[in-house]
Amino acid sequence: MMSNIVSFVKRRPKWCAAGVVCVTLAACGYVYPWITAGVVAAMVVIMAAVRFGWWKRPWAALRRRLGIAVAQPSAPAVSAEQLAAATRRPPRKQGQTVPDLVETMLAQGRYALLLRPQIVENLSENQMRITLAALQEKMALVPAGVVVMSRLDIDPDPDVWNERREAKESRKIHVEPVFLDRVAVSNFQFQEFVLGGGYEELEIWDEAVLPAMLDFVDQTGHPGPRGWLKGQPPTGLESHPVVGISWYEATAYARWCGKRLPTDAEWAKAACWPVSLGDSNWVQRRYPWGDSFETRRANVWASARQGTVPVDHYDNGLSVGGIYQMIGNVWEWMAGPYGSSADTTLSLPAPMKAIRGGAFDTYFENQATCQFQSGENPLRRKHNIGLRLALGACDLAPQAAALILEGESVTEDQLVVG
Amino acid sequence: MTRGCDLPLDSYRLAHYSVQVPCYVCDGGNTYDAELCRHCFAPMALAHQSQAHKTRPSMVAVLGTTGSGKTVYLGMLMDMLSRRTKPLQVLARGAFSVSLQQATTASLCHCQFPSKTPNEPDHWNWVHCQVRCQRMRRPFELIVPDMAGEALVQEIDHPRTYPVIRSYLTKCAGAIILIDAIRLQEGHDQDHFSMKLLTFLSELVDDPKEGWHKRPVVLVLTKADQCDGCFDDPESYARTHSAGMWNQCHEQFRATKIFAAGVAGACASRATFGGGQQRFPLRIEPRGIVEPFQWLISQIPLRKK
């Protein structure tokens, strides 16, 4: 019988405790009825106060009377509705405060959206400085200027290929100041887009490609790049450039970040860094580091890597502006088409978009130069084509652009996190 | 008045001509200083090198229709293997062996495909090389010609048109058959040609012990980078688009495997003078070039010296 009682107590401990209290009160009430009634009433009041938070109000009033500062929640710099309208998405979490939303967007790499003219005025000074610091850290400024674009194709007769013909058929294009990502978009960065529901936000996708979006899935049928599994990048390749994405996916990701794909002229200027010698003469680098190719500066076929490397490798292959891997590793989607509309002899199997930069499997060094352009079907999701984003200086808010272009950098002391 | 004088006779030089030098491909007799065999037009340098190094090179054939990519595949293969040491390394024997990769890379470097291989056997490029493999202690010799696709088709349809093809294929230790994956997707002409070629090979040698049914055959789907799904599963792709070839290959040959390969990432066309269209590659990114050759080498029984 004792074992049955013990097992019952173990199964119902709260019930047993309540029963003991009731028996005790009944015994006391028999002896001391008024004392027992008072104790029961006090217990009920205490339980109600804890349940409904009645105790906080007197405590706050007491603190005010005593002159103790009460921390007031700071007024939101930007309302949640305004930011949601700007980002075309509802707030991530119900009741999430705006500072959390700004930090979330910074963590996702969407700082460019915060520097838009419609948004930046509502940011606090500290938030703006943090966002500008992120921009300066992640992107390199390509100053305005002229870039000489060589012929798009290479004459098959090597005897004809000479400097005079190249000078005759080259084009000089003026480029406005633009920011270019220092590194190509990595799997980790693109995963933010996938997890953030970028494939479901139809507003950021070209209307013409909507019927083909069902094909933009990974190997397990989840939305994502071609080589992924269950919406996740391959293990160990988080810092490698994202590949297996079409031009439309690259464009949608760029819009989601508040940026865009670079034009051929912008990319070429950032890579070859033209220097004027006066009298319309320009000197441009064949490769971002100089005119001679070296396997230790870029990841191409001759480097014998047989695959991609992390986006921040090859420090000795930096461009003058501090951009990594403009040559090698992966081809990069451009904003414009391949070929020239004036070239009536060219016949493409499908309208192609331009790609530049060469990849890890580019066999010839002369096809991994700052001027070489190739093309690919915009729907193809190849294993060696990635992307790098651009942001025009004209797209920034004037005050933000002025701070950047005037060369004012943000120091660590000016950053107050939280 | 006559004078006598001593004149040395160079008749000893004629001694070389008294002995016929057999061609390494067709075993036909040739003079010592012949550049090409007068029977099959194979280079006589192959026989001289074989005798000089006391080796018996194995022979491998790269076959396919016109435009399937034989020249590009073979030229890129030789160039890639000569620039790397792993997993295979190739060292050319004789200056003539470098001509193929030189012509191929010179064209591809300028975003242009090499010109069509002439049908005349005396204009074909032959490669004689030494192959070093990690799994083998000693390197072995290999001979691979770049044959014209039209000549091959004519030999299949009208036997004895090109004796060099028949002689060469009779002695081959293995074959790489290139199939245009794009044309395979569009129609059945590649399927039918492959079936004819496989039948031709299987009936070439009657010996049940050394016939073609025991020799390794590799099927390579070329231009696969322009076909979706070809690289992912070449077997499935071949079974889907070329069921006849796939069945025949597995029924008649003991050692066979299907690979996918590509050299040009994308292609375009340009109008030429006269109204024609000339295809050219937009970039060169070789893929799947070495693996078929590596598998074939692993299957070939090496000849003893």
What pLDDT was estimated at residue B152? 92
B277 touches chain A (CB under 8 A): yes
A138 and A12 within one domain: no
> Residue B267 has what DSSP assignment?
E
For residue A295, give the CATH number of its domain: 3.90.1580.10
* Rounded mean pLDDT, A31-56: 75
Nearest of B151, B104, B59, B66 to residue B264 by alpha carbon:
B104
pLDDT of A323:
96
What average pLDDT is seen over chain A?
Answer: 81
Collapsed DSSP state (helix, strand, coil) of residue B53: helix
Mean pLDDT of A289-296: 92
For residue B106, list chain A residues with Cβ-Cβ distance below 8 A. Answer: 158
* Proportion of chain B above pLDDT 70, given as a percent: 94
Residue B122: which pLDDT band, with cuts at 50, 70 and 90?
confident
Query: How many Å lie between the alpha carbon of B102 and the closest alpha carbon of chain A?
Result: 13
Taking Cα atoms as reference points, which of B289, B288, B67, B270 lies closest to residue B184?
B67
| Residue A83 scores a pLDDT above 60 | no
Closest Cα of chain A to B247: distance in Å? 29
How many cross-chain Cβ pairs, A to B, lie less than 8 Å apart? 73
- A89 burial (CB, 10 Å; 0-12 / 13-18 / 19+) is middle
Beta strand A346-347 with B267-271: parallel, antiparallel or unpaired?
antiparallel
Give me the mean pLDDT over the B271-284 stretch: 87
How many Cα atoms sit within 13 Å of B71 on the Cβ side?
Answer: 24
B residues 47-106 lying closer than 8 A (beta carbon) to A: 76, 83-84, 105-106
Residues sharing a CB contact under 8 Å with residue A363, sequence separation 6 or more, in sequence order: A300, A301, B76, B108, B284, B285, B286
Q: From CA A201, how far away is CA A204, in angstroms rounded?
A: 6
Shared-domain flag, residues A38 and A152: no
Q: Average pLDDT in the B123-133 region?
A: 90
Interface of B with A in 215-234 (CB under 8 A): 225
Lowest mean pLDDT among A92-96, A133-137, A254-258, A379-383: A92-96
Residue A359 lies in a domain: yes
pLDDT of residue A174: 92
Percent over 70 (pLDDT), chain A: 79
Give the whole-angstrom CA distance, residue A102 versus residue A83. 9
pLDDT confidence of A57, banded at 50, 70, 90?
Answer: low
State the average pLDDT over residues A291-297.
Answer: 93
Closest-CA residue of B relative to A227 is B232
pLDDT at A258 over 90: yes
pLDDT of residue B304: 46
- The residue written with tokens 């003893």 in the block is B304
Q: Domain ranges in chain B?
A: 18-52, 57-304
**Cis link prior to B145 (omega < 30° from 0)?**
no
If DSSP codes are grouped into helix, strand and coil, which group holds residue B277?
strand
Instruction: Find the mean pLDDT for residues A46-60.
Output: 65
Work out the pLDDT band at B301, boundaries 50, 70, 90: confident
What type of residue is A153?
A: D
A15/A145 same-domain check:
no
pLDDT of res. A369 = 94
Is residue A58 located within the same domain as residue A112? Answer: no
Chain B interface includes A220 (CB < 8 A): no
Mean of the pLDDT values across residues B31-57? 84
Q: What is the tally of structural domains in chain A?
A: 2
- Residue A86: predicted pLDDT: 43
The per-residue pLDDT for A98 is: 56
Q: Give the pLDDT confidence score for residue B14 in this predicted structure.
A: 66
A259, HSE (Cβ side, Cα atoms, 13 Å): 26
Looking at residue A7, what is its pLDDT? 77
Residue of B nearest to A300 (CA): B285
- pLDDT given at position B12: 65
Contact A302 B83 (CB under 8 A): yes
Q: CA A74 → CA A56, A70, B60, distances in Å?
A: 20, 12, 80
The per-residue DSSP string of A336-382 comes to EESS-TT-TTEE-SS--EEEES--TT---GGGSSSS-EEEE-TT---
The answer to whether B111 contacts A154, with C-beta atoms less than 8 Å apart, is: yes
Dump pLDDT digits (tens) for A380-413.
999 999 999 999 988 888 888 887 776 644 444 4
CA dihedral A227→A232→A236→A240, nearest 10 degrees, is 60
Range with lowest mean pLDDT among A105-109, A198-202, B27-31, B104-108: B27-31
- Residue A64's pLDDT is what? 56
Task: Kindly report the length of chain B.
Answer: 305
Q: Which of A301, A352, A366 sits opposite B109 (nearest CB)?
A: A366
Contacts of B287 in chain A (CB under 8 A): 361
Which chain B residue lies closest to A156 (C-alpha atoms)? B110
Over range A95-105, report the average pLDDT: 71
Give CA separation, B199 vs A236, B68, B203, B215, B248, in Å.
48, 19, 6, 14, 8
According to CATH, what is the number of the domain B57-304? 3.40.50.300
Q: Give B275's pLDDT tier (boundaries 50, 70, 90).
A: confident
Is the domain of A332 the same as that of A247? yes
Evaluate whether residue A74 is within a structural domain: no
Over the stretch B66-107, which tens digit does the pLDDT of each residue have?
Answer: 999 999 999 999 999 999 877 888 999 888 899 999 999 999
Two structure tokens written together for A223 = 């939305």
Cβ burial of A231 (10 Å; 0-12, 13-18, 19+) is middle
pLDDT of residue A415: 41
Q: DSSP code of A20?
A: H
Residue A333 lies in a domain: yes
Check whether A196 has a pLDDT greater than 70: yes
**Which amino acid makes up residue A201?**
E
In this complex, which of B277, B282, B285 lies closest to A361 when CB atoms are compared? B285
Cα Rg of chain A, angstroms: 32
Calculate how close chain A gets to B82, using CA atoms only, in Å. Answer: 12
Whether pLDDT at A169 is above 70: no
Q: Which of A10-14, A22-26, A365-369 has the highest mean pLDDT?
A: A365-369
- Going by pLDDT thresholds of 50, 70 and 90, the confidence category of residue A375 is very high
What pLDDT, on a 0 to 100 scale, did the predictor assign at position A81?
A: 47
Answer whether residue A300 is part of any domain: yes
- Residue A197's domain spans which residues? 83-89+97-418
Distances (CA, A) of A97 to A73, A74, A132, B74: 10, 10, 21, 64
pLDDT value at residue A82? 46
Is 50 exceeded by the pLDDT of residue B265?
yes
Q: For residue A63, what pLDDT is reported? A: 55
Q: How confident is the model at residue B294 (pLDDT cuts 50, 70, 90)?
A: very high
Considering the domain architecture, whether residues A365 and A418 belong to the same structural domain is answered as yes
How confident is the model over B206-235, as a mean pLDDT? 87
Shortest alpha-carbon distance between residue A265 and chain B (Å) = 19
Contact list, A382 vs chain B (CB under 8 Å): 225, 265
pLDDT of res. A8? 78
What is the pTM (predicted TM-score) of this model? 0.79
Write the pLDDT tens digit of every residue in B178-190: 999 998 888 777 8
A266 with A357, same domain: the answer is yes
- What letter would DSSP give residue A153? S
CB atoms within 10 A of CB B301: 11
DSSP A180-231: EESSPPBHHHHHHHHHTTGGG-GGGS-GGGGGGGGG-B-TTSSBS-TT-BTT
A92, pLDDT greater than 70: no
- How would residue A6 be classed by pLDDT, with cut points 50, 70 and 90? confident
Are A392 and A178 in contact, with CB atoms under 8 Å apart? yes
Which band of pLDDT confidence, cut at 50, 70 and 90, is reported for residue A54? low
Determine which of B110, B185, B233, B287 to mutate to test the interface with A (most A C-beta atoms within 10 Å).
B110
